[in-house]
Amino acid sequence: MNTSFDRSQLDDMDKRRRTNLINSLSGYKSANLLGSINAQQQTNLALMSSVFHIGANPPLMGCLLRPHTVPRHSLENIVEMECFTLNSVTKSIYKQAHQTSARYARDQSEFEAVGLTPEYSDVIRAPYVSQSPVQIGLSLVETQILAMNETVLVIGEIKEIRLADNLIADDGHLTLGEAELVTISGLDEYHLPESLGRLPYPKP
């Protein structure tokens, strides 16, 4: 390969350069807005790039929250109310989604600050993002602190799924391209994927 870094070169690297590099390494990341609320009805909205599927039965999803960044308000709300929502980010709202990462005061809702609309269902107390075509309501299953850097793994069980029209195929697959979902690379680059098609189930 043409450029390589061993561990000592990584450790010696300027902090910002290393952060950008390491955040880029995994490849494209999903873009979701995590909606939460506290007992005083203050809402919170935080952009997450580390949401992942854990299992289909029971239906579980997880995300990683870093300890020393703004999403601590989200974490406090999730632990207090034992629920949260995940809402897909589209081309129409990705700039607003990015802006939720600014350090707003505790008493200011990111919904208002960036101009997104909270929406509620009877199933989950946390707010959905009205503008999102894929909305997932989850109850908290557990939080685990990863010992090596105090990142928090939040695991939720899906209680409700709300989808825009025409997204779900007969076999349950979602055609994300229809809804113009975006993907993130590194800390700040956004992309709109074009489908190369679905591949058949692989056999030897």
Residues 20-49 that bind a copy of itself (CB under 8 A): 20-32
Which is closer to a copy of itself, CB of 38 or CB of 121? Answer: 121
Give yes or no for residue 95 binding a copy of itself (CB under 8 A).
yes
Site for a copy of itself in 126-185 (CB under 8 A): 134-136, 141-142, 144, 146, 148-149, 151, 153, 155, 158-165, 167-169, 171-177, 181-183, 185
| Geometric angle at alpha carbon 138, from 74 and 45, rounded to 5° | 30
> Would you call 18 exposed, middle or buried from its count of C-beta atoms within 10 A (0-12, 13-18, 19+)?
middle
Hey, what are 151's tokens? 């990142």
For residue 78, the minimal CB distance to a copy of itself (Å) is 17
**Residue 64 to residue 169: CA distance in whole angstroms:** 29
Q: Which helix (H) or strand (E) holds 74?
A: helix 72-81
Q: How far is the CB of 145 from a copy of itself (least distance, A)?
A: 11
- Shortest Å, Cβ 71 to a copy of itself: 13
Q: Does 186 bind a copy of itself (CB under 8 A)?
A: yes
Instruction: Tell me the C-alpha to C-alpha distance, in Å, between residue 61 and each of 101, 159, 185.
Output: 22, 11, 21
Residues 54-93 that bind a copy of itself (CB under 8 A): 54-62, 64, 66, 86, 88-89, 91
Q: In this structure, what are the phi and psi dihedrals at residue 11, rounded to the nearest 5 degrees?
A: -65, -30
